[in-house]
Chain A
Amino acid sequence: SQTIHQWPATLVQPVGSPLSLECTVEGTSNPNLYWYRQAAGRGLQLLFYSVGIGQISSEVPQNLSASRPQDRQFILSSKKLLLSDSGFYLCAWSHGGGYGYTFGSGTRLTVV
């Protein structure tokens, strides 16, 4: 069966520090991968998605970036965090079509 792993679960980082959040999927190949941000426990904002290795589409211009160095690995990064980067970050995968996304358990990022 397919599983998605996301870490760390929580992270407290000072303003101006770098960020690296990692997401991996097991039990499938060539998944579509997504990074979402959720502020204040409400709506899901799509940040990046990837349909293949090295292919990244950005939905929202900001100081975050994403990379997909391997088929089942998706990384969210920042060189210098801002206070406004605080939030709940969710990774998800799908095989396209209408079968929905499977989400990871999320990373709670607090920038102080």
Chain B
Amino acid sequence: GQQLNQSPQSMFIQEGEDVSMNCTSSSIFNTWLWYKQDPGEGPVLLIALYKAGELTSNGRLTAQFGITRKDSFLNISASIPSDVGIYFCAGHFDAQLTFGKGTKLSVIP
């Protein structure tokens, strides 16, 4: 099956810093999605990308659908303590959604 390589696995950053994480694959996807999971909760959809090259923002979050359709990145600007959690990328192709293994973000006040 298709696999996603999500990096980094974990990040420790100072409050106010910008964050960048990405997902890559050897396979193409038709849709890229980014989720955030707060501790003890289910993942919640942050951003959905439907077209190659698409750049979408949601508040301090910006995500892009790579032009090759094999990668996507998520940036978080000016991080705050409530940004802590696990961020998952997900790629959709042929009726199947594949998840990355997650990036665990810790924000130091």
Query: Given known contacts A98-B31, A99-B48, is B99 in contact with A43 (CB within 8 Å)?
Result: yes
B contact residues around A94 at 8 Å (CB): 97
* B70 on interface, CB distance cutoff 8 Å: no
In the complex, identify which listed stretch (A65-73, A76-84, A101-109) lies at the interface while the others stay far away.
Answer: A101-109
Known: A42-B101, A43-B102. A100 touches B42 (CB 8 A): no
User: From A92, which residue of chain B is reached at the shortest CB distance?
Assistant: B42
Number of A-B contacts (CB under 8 A): 52
Name A46's closest neighbour in chain B (CB-CB): B99
Interface contact A42-B41, CB-CB below 8 Å = no
Q: Are A106 and B90 in contact (CB under 8 A)?
A: no
Q: How far is the CA of A95 from the CA of B40 in the complex (A)?
A: 25
Q: What secondary structure prevails in chain B residues at the interface with A?
A: strand
Which residue of A101, A105, A108 is within 8 Å of B97 (Cβ)? A101
Please tell me if B30 contacts chain A, counting CB pairs below 8 Å.
yes
Chain A nearest CB from B29 CB (Å) reads 8
A92 to B48, CA, bound (A): 17
A41 contacts B41, CB within 8 Å?
A: no
Select from chain A the residue with minimum beta-carbon distance to B10: A42
Q: Point out the residues of chain A lying under 8 angstroms from B74, CB to CB.
A: none
Residue of A nearest to B31 (CB): A98
The residue in chain B whose Cβ has the minimal distance to the Cβ of A10 is: B40
Contacts of A97 in B (CB 8 A): 92
Closest to B98 in A: A46
In the assembly, what is the distance between CA of A94 and CA of B102, in Å? 21
Docked Cα-Cα span, A111 to B33, in Å, equals 33
- B17-35 contact mask (Cβ, 8 Å, vs A): 1 or 0: 0000000000000110101
Q: A: which residues have CB within 8 A of B?
A: 6, 41-44, 90, 92, 94, 96-106, 108
Point out residues on B near A: beta carbons under 8 Å.
30-31, 33, 35, 39-45, 48, 50, 86, 88, 90, 92, 95, 97, 99-102, 104
